[in-house]
Amino acid sequence: MKAKEERQFAHNTSARIAQILDSTLKAESANFNAVNNGVIKRTLQALDDSIQSPRVQEGCLKQALLQLKNLKSKGANLGKDPLTEVVVDTLRAEAQKFERLSEAEKNKLFVLSDAQKEAIKAQDKNLKES
């Protein structure tokens, strides 16, 4: 009977460890996605804001006319697309924000929150009791 109990204990422990690891990976992934979604949201907002700018609108029109004019010339220098510049500039600014963060600040963005830790503990408790 002791061997059976040991196997059951090992099985239950393995299942709990697997559940904790799976939950931790999901929570970390959610934290990473939240940071990425924030960057994407701010980039799209900058793009939306720039579309309203007469300077950008004029630049887009000039770019479109230049592309039509040079349609037959492959590899022609088509100039800079003002909307692409807005996206690239915004992404560079976002990258610089992260570069300026200390390691502790960077870790804080991605590590499990207290609420996430408590949820994992509760899951483990439920699995342990079942």
pLDDT in tens, 20-74: 999 999 999 999 999 999 999 999 999 999 888 888 888 888 888 877 777 666 5
Residue type (1 letter), 124:
D
Question: Nearest to residue 125, comparing CAs of 54, 47, 23?
Answer: 23
| Alpha-helix residue ranges (DSSP H) falling in the chain | 2-51, 54-69, 82-100, 103-110, 114-129
Please enumerate in sequence order all residues whose Cβ is within 8 A of that of 28, keeping only pairs 6 or more positions apart, or say none. Answer: 110, 111, 112
- Cα(99)–Cα(17) distance, rounded to whole angstroms? 35
Which pLDDT score is estimated for 67?
76
Q: What value does the mean pLDDT take over residues 86-101?
A: 92
Which pLDDT score is estimated for 74?
59
